[in-house]
Amino acid sequence: MAELPKINILYEDNHLLVVEKPVYMPVCEDESHDLDLLSVLKNYLKEKYQKPGNVYLGLVHRLDRPVGGVMVFARTSKAASRLSKEIVNHELEKVYLAVVEGEVLESGEMFDYLVKDQKKNQSYVTDKQHGKEARLHYKRLGYRNGFSLVEIHLETGRSHQIRVQFSSRGFPLVGDAKYNPHHDGKTSIALFAKKLSFYHPVTKEKLSFKLDVPKRYPFNLF
């Protein structure tokens, strides 16, 4: 068996596992059957604690395959249930960094109704009757070479939400193969899950995890 990749573990206890998801690794098994993060982490726990049989690891939120950054997994079903409730109650805070084409306003809010075409794995802006609410707010951290660096606070977690909402307003993400018509096929998507904050499902302590800005293009322009 090939050696499994090393994952950056940010925090670990009996209830939680917080990690940095690598770029281009799927979170869970998909039709590609490529190595996925959930399987790698289950194997890590199985080996570390020498657990027989299947290892439980609850998936409570996702990141798109090309996107890297902070993720939390639940090590018990009780923790999974409580974290899922935090997400529903908007108590789990997700902060992203993105580089978009054009000069966006210094700060703003985006509100749309989105619908997903499952066959195409693509989301679209639609009307209230057919879509689900998608809301975020952002601030511009810099502008250079025709690109804006933005910090995004997600209030809802719709599929491809950030990518669709910025693209629909004429500010597609650099390197976005699905929603940027100028994508060159070479650049990785400029979207990164920078920070995750939530309450510990058992101790109720507020936890916050933050990663450094990626050193790759186009983040390194700023």
Identity of the amino acid at 6: K
Q: At residue 10, what are phi and psi to the nearest 5 degrees? A: -95, -30
Contacts of 118 (CB under 8 A, 6+ apart): none
HSE, CB side, 13 Å, CA atoms: give it for residue 43. Answer: 13
Residue 172 to residue 187: CA distance in whole angstroms? 13
Q: Cα angle vertex 155, ends 200, 13, to 5°?
A: 20
Contacts of 115 (CB under 8 A, 6+ apart): 123, 124, 126, 130, 131, 132
* Catalytic-role residue among 64, 112, 127, 176: 64
Look up 112 and say whether it is catalytic.
Answer: no
Report CA 91 to chain centroid distance, whole Å.
16
- Provide the residue count of the chain: 222
Beta bridge partners of 18: 11, 72
SS (H, E, C) 59-113: ECCCCCCCCEEEEEEECCHHHHHHHHHHHHCCCCEEEEEEEEECCCCCEEEEEEE
Positions marked active-site: 64
